[in-house]
Amino acid sequence: MELKIAILLLLSIVDLFFGLFVYFSNRRSPVNLFYGLAVFAVGLWSLGVFMFFHSDADQLRFWSNFIYLAGSLIVSNFFAFSLVFPQEVWRYSIFQTTAVYLPNLAFFILLFFTDFVISGALVLANGARNLSFGPLYFLYWLYFLVFLSSAFIILFRRYIRAKGIERLQ
């Protein structure tokens, strides 16, 4: 096993446990909830990348879809985290939470039941993996760009306004 692949496996195990640890250390805190979910999603993504490099041609498509779905979960959870950090400012309702996480459901359907985002995956003769993308692939990156940049803008604005210990956080 290559060193970078072993590091991916170690990273995924550490992230999965750390995400659960953060969540369970204070389940009532929205900061812990969304940060723990974001770290857990990074662990899922790392596990997916590890499996992607250890899968045969039959499983490659599943793991590539898994990686992209985990990536969308990272972005949604980080966005939700940005809305509640450092203090719970966002009083989230079911409607608002659904709006944040609804793209993940859409990507789940598009990734696992259609060829609109990823249309194919194959293992080349030299062992390299190759993905072909569908006509809606750009939507994934547009979603990624909008949610991630929005989260950073929210956090940056709060940082500018923060004072004292809150600014150090």
| Three-state secondary structure of the chain | CCHHHHHHHHHHHHHHHHHHHHHHHCCCCHHHHHHHHHHHHHHHHHHHHHHHHCCCHHHHHHHHHHHHHHHHHHHHHHHHHHHHCCCCCCCCCHHHHHHHHHHHHHHHHHHHHCCCCEEEEEECCCCCEEEEECCCHHHHHHHHHHHHHHHHHHHHHHHHHCCCHHHHC
Please state the rounded mean pLDDT for residues 131-157. 91
For residues 108 and 54, which has the higher predicted lDDT (pLDDT)? 108
Q: What confidence category does residue 106 fall into, taking pLDDT thresholds of 50, 70 and 90?
A: very high
For the stretch 10-35, pLDDT in tens is 888 888 888 888 888 887 888 888 88
Please state the rounded mean pLDDT for residues 138-153. 93
For the stretch 35-93, pLDDT in tens is 888 989 999 999 998 888 888 888 889 999 999 999 999 999 999 888 888 766 666 66
pLDDT at residue 16 in the model: 85
For residues 135 and 96, which has the higher predicted lDDT (pLDDT)? 135
Tokens matching residue 109: 């359907």
Q: Say whether pLDDT at 4 is over 70.
A: yes
Please state the rounded mean pLDDT for residues 123-142. 85
Sign of the torsion angle spanned by Cα atoms 77, 145, 65, 103: positive
Please state the rounded mean pLDDT for residues 141-152. 93
pLDDT at residue 113 in the model: 93
pLDDT at residue 139 in the model: 92
Lowest mean pLDDT among 2-6, 29-33, 103-107, 162-166: 162-166
